Amino acid sequence: MSDLLKDVMKRSIDSEFYSPFPKGYRPGRTKYIVVFGTVISGIGKGIFAGSLGKLLRYKGFTISPIKFDGYLNQDAGTLNPYRHGEVFVLEDGTESDMDLGTYERFLDINLTKDNYITNGKLFQEILNKERRGDYLGRDVQVIPHVTGEIKLFLRKLAVKSKSDIVLFEVGGTVGDLESMFCIEAVRQLMYEEGKENVCAIAVTYIMEPGFLGEQKSKAAQLGIKSLLSSGIQPDIIACRAKNEVTEKIRQKISLYSNVELRDVLSIPDVGSIYFVPEMIRKTGVAESVMKKLKLGSRISKKEEESKWQKWSKFTGRIKNPKNRVVIGMFGKYTNLRDSYASILKALEHAGANLDTAVEIKWIETTDIEEGKLKVEEALKGIDGALIAPGFGKRGTEGKIASIKYIRQKNIPYLGVCYGMQMAIIEFARNVCGLKDANSTEIDSRTRHQVIDILPEQKKIEGLGGNMRLGAKEVLVKKGTMAYELYGRKKMIKERFRHRYEVNPEYIPLLAKKGMVFSGKHPEYDIMQIMELPGKRFFVGSQFHPEFTSKLLHPNPLYLGFVRAALGSGLSKL
């Protein structure tokens, strides 16, 4: 431990060195990797960070990722998918940024609220402490208090996770006003922990305007200059680009930023995010990070290579699949594919395990509802249909009309959350004869409220406060398709994000007409999986099976769905 850090840890809260340390914290025990973005957002910081984490995990290190988002929302739960993409639900019910999903999928771990921080969450904690008098009458300031709380958040994660490395992604781009004090906190972290314990990585973007026909580095240089002006010297620069970054551009970036040429990486676009780990492995970035952090590999080369061979087996199937299926994706956010990121990945996982390329046909259900698109035309050429999650009334009648056609034509079907509810409404109307059956979310006055908020949920008030969130146990009925898909397990655990449920009053009628509820709450009559026997595959889940799917461990419902689609052969007709 440096003399500086000893001094900082000894000082009282009244010191200008305000930098609280959690109980049991050992400086130097945990290393930190911090990933910044420059030029533009959405360039793949999370994918790069997750890929780097995978490289280090395959060298035997334990990794705990954490994401900082600059918005004042306490979490991502109330954010519109058009503005922010998918809301990813963590094991404990935290509604987070989609990058947390990337981390879980790459690192094959489950994350919690400790791995996600926003300005809203940060400021709420600071204001709560101020009201309790925890700052002992000090005037609470950005420096040292806000920066100190960010460092505390990172150090708490280090202690709680007992990780070798905390991998910290700073959301947005360098220069964003809302991220400036987070960047300052990282500078202080480097100052206090020592340079050998913190590795800074900048992910930048190399432009290639079509009208010029060549790559340009000026925007990247200016973005890196902004990071340098914040007092942070990057150790590694990852250059994102459409094509391979030229040697000349890398030389310019190296000279401009004081980063060795070997540590200026070319990260061009690839066909799947699952190709990125192997691509950056060839650059030697993991070894560079380990050298800067004075770390040695924890496992043998043979063991590391064995892990990569298993990973490469599946990525090879993504590159060169033997089969192909077309899945119709029915939703209302089809113009923004990030809204369905986890679903797309879950389909890719299932496809890789079945040596099958999964192609998506996007179908906007609002167009069907408004008569702009006929159902039979929308479903033409698909092997399977997936009704995606969602909220609100728009596009629901288009979904219900599509499900009727899917059921009657025996097309493999998977309904996720809202998709299960829509399937139940369709069945209630067209099989049970309840013509005006609906959800109270769509029509609060409907006579047959087959989907409703249960009484215990109605007691909870506030938007975002009455959601059923996180990992919950599901009791699976023996002898059903779900029971077989989940390996004949009686009890499973999946992640939920919803308010409305199947109304228990209608369960006997639905069951009488042939619907099987193959998964339910362990104690109450809350139905969580439905299926229609006699169909190729017709399953709905109230939970989100995509949130637990990994490339090497695909979710059973998605695996069964893609297998059924592969066997249908409908797109070949």
Q: List active site positions.
A: 417, 544, 546
Nearest residue to 45 (alpha-carbon basis) of 204, 269, 230, 262: 204
Q: What is the DSSP string of 119-172?
A: HHHHHHHHHHHHHHTTTTTPPP-IIIIIHHHHHHHHHHHHHHHT-SEEEEEE-S
| 426 torsion bin: left (phi>0), alpha (psi -120 to 50), beta (else) | alpha
Question: Residues 47-84, buried b or exposed e (16+ Cβ, 10 A)?
Answer: bbbbbbbbbbbbbbbebbbbbbbbbebbbbbebebeeb
C-alpha R_g of the chain: 25
Cis peptide upstream of residue 556 (ω within 30 degrees of 0): no
Determine contact, residues 309/343, Cβ cutoff 8 Å: no
Determine contact, residues 5/193, Cβ cutoff 8 Å: yes
* Sign of the dihedral through C-alpha 246, 250, 251, 252: positive
Cα first-last separation, the chain? 69
The conformation of residue 431, written as its DSSP 8-state character, comes to: T
H or E element in which residue 56 lies: helix 45-57
| 512 torsion bin: left (phi>0), alpha (psi -120 to 50), beta (else) | alpha
Determine contact, residues 114/161, Cβ cutoff 8 Å: yes
The conformation of residue 469, written as its DSSP 8-state character, comes to: E
Nearest residue to 122 (alpha-carbon basis) of 88, 86, 171, 192: 171
Amino acid at 307: K
Strand partners, 493: 473
What span, in angstroms and rounded, lies between the C-alpha atoms of 90 and 94? 5
What span, in angstroms and rounded, lies between the C-alpha atoms of 140 and 157? 24
CA distances from 296 to 1, 28, 289, 452 (A): 19, 14, 10, 56
